Structure 1
Amino acid sequence: MTMLWQALIDFDGTISCRDTTDAILQRFAEPGWEEIEAQWEAGAIGSRECMERQVALLRVSPDVLDTFTASLEIDWGFSAFVRLCQRHGVPVTVVSDGLDRTIHTLLGRAGLGHLPVVANHLEPIGGDRWRMTSPHAAPGGACGSGTCKCRIASGLSRPLTLLVGDGRSDFCLAGEADLVFAKKSLIAHCREATIPHHPFADFAQAVSLLESVLAGAALPAESLTLKDKIDG
């Protein structure tokens, strides 16, 4: 049964303790990135356009960026989650609408550099300037995200998908995945959309949930039916 599963794990705010892209922008971007963020939050632009424009405002050399990135924290329980998946033959893929350079730096520091990463590509273009490309976007701009997580999930080999995520970039895949571990705003979305899900606060809890799943135990998924919302 375990050989049927694949795990797709979001990075920023899920594996990392804070949004690493926001941390980089706060430290190194020229003024204007927050206004671009506000346009994305209002739904005026997609995350791909938002991040392309924000990355163009970065002013930092590659070595300084990498040093700063290495100082950011991840949920160290993620290593135990990966080991559990490995023991049961469940492949883990980090699928993010964030930046690949940041993800590789932090996973490497944690001894998890072997994990496959699907994310936007952050590219130095000379001096302290950068650009972002999105090799995993949906064809034809069907999705406003830089990384279309539904497309990635459908292209992998296992028939059952576990999504572990925390935010807006996970909303679409949450409706398609066979099992959802949710935190932060993904919990609110799943409740609103009546998507069965299992709330978790950190990877120590996620490990416990996954152990139960792999042992064949039935987990009571949290979701609100229409009647629940009316009664509430």
Structure 2
Amino acid sequence: MKNWAFVSDFDGTISQKDFYRLVIEKYYKEGDKKYEDWQGGHIKDIDFLSEVFRNIHQPEEMISQDVLSLPLDPSFVPLVQKVQQAGGDFFILSAGTDYYIHKILNHLEIENVKVFSNEGYFEENNVKMKIDPNAWHYSERYGIDKSLVIKKLKEQYQTVYFAGDSEPDSHPAVFADVTFAKDSLQTILTSKHVPFEAINNFDDIIAYLKNNEVI
């Protein structure tokens, strides 16, 4: 069994803005109504994202520019480096799509970071999502079941750290050894009596790992 792994959500955790929000603001004004329906529980997460991403209607070069314009936590790259230098493995776990995550990792020249997410691809000036109901981590609501991924990693690592920011992250947080929570995830986990370390950014995570002699 390996020593430890660090797993991070992407949208709102690594990125400071969700990619779907950027798309709605720039290209899909009707998305605000879809957002309300989603928040009201009338649309599944994966159906909401699929609807938004297939209403971009832009060439891939423009989509790539939009992806790379997403503001990231300034300490994302330093955190990856410190985790890997200390012998940990870094994973990204997202209920969005790996399409834009891989673009950002490639742009930043980040290596040896495995991404667990919904498969995405460019087609007809949009981003399409390929959901496999036979995948071992399939979720009808999210496309990917983050809890199953964390439980799988816990079979391979002695300690699994997890960072997230919103409702989908509340489910894997139950199974991680230590959860770093920001924004609405703090309130959700408090209401569920799930322990967590409150953070504002990745600098707080780096400080915690240093104080606990992990890195």
TM-score by length of 2: 0.88
Matching residue of 1:4: 3
The 1:210–1:109 alpha-carbon spacing in structure 2 relative to 1, beyond 3 Å, is same
Matching residue of 1:106: 104
C-alpha distance in 2 between matches for 1:137 and 1:28: 32
Matching residue of 1:19: 18
The 1:207–1:111 alpha-carbon spacing in structure 2 relative to 1, beyond 3 Å, is same
Which of 158-167 and 132-141 deviates more? 132-141
Matching residue of 1:38: 36
C-alpha distance in 2 between matches for 1:101 and 1:164: 21
The 1:107–1:136 alpha-carbon spacing in structure 2 relative to 1, beyond 3 Å, is farther
Matching of residues 204-223 of structure 1 within 5 Å: 204-215=203-214
User: Runs ≥4 in structure 1, deviation > 6 angstroms?
Assistant: 136-141
Counterpart code for 2:67: T
Q: Percent identity?
A: 22
Give CA-to-partner distance per residue, 1:152-200, whole Å, 9 cap, x none. Answer: 1222321432111111120101111111111001111111111111111
C-alpha distance in 1 between matches for 2:180 and 2:36: 28
Structure 1 gap ranges (5+): 217-232
TM-score by length of 1: 0.82
Task: Name which one, 1 or 2, has greater alpha-carbon Rg.
Answer: 1
Contact 2:139 2:145 in 1 (8 A): no
Counterpart code for 2:175: E
Contact 1:48 1:144 in 2 (8 A): yes
Counterpart code for 1:55: F
Secondary structure at 1:39 match in 2: helix
C-alpha distance in 2 between matches for 1:135 and 1:5: 29
Matching residue of 1:192: 191
Q: Please, what is the CA RMSD of the aligned residues?
A: 2.4
C-alpha distance in 2 between matches for 1:208 and 1:19: 25
Matching of residues 51-200 of structure 1 within 5 Å: 51-126=49-124, 128-135=125-132, 143-156=140-153, 157-200=156-199
Q: Which has the higher strand share?
A: 2
C-alpha distance in 2 between matches for 1:44 and 1:171: 20
Contact 1:118 1:136 in 2 (8 A): no
Structure 2 gap ranges (5+): none
The 1:144–1:138 alpha-carbon spacing in structure 2 relative to 1, beyond 3 Å, is farther
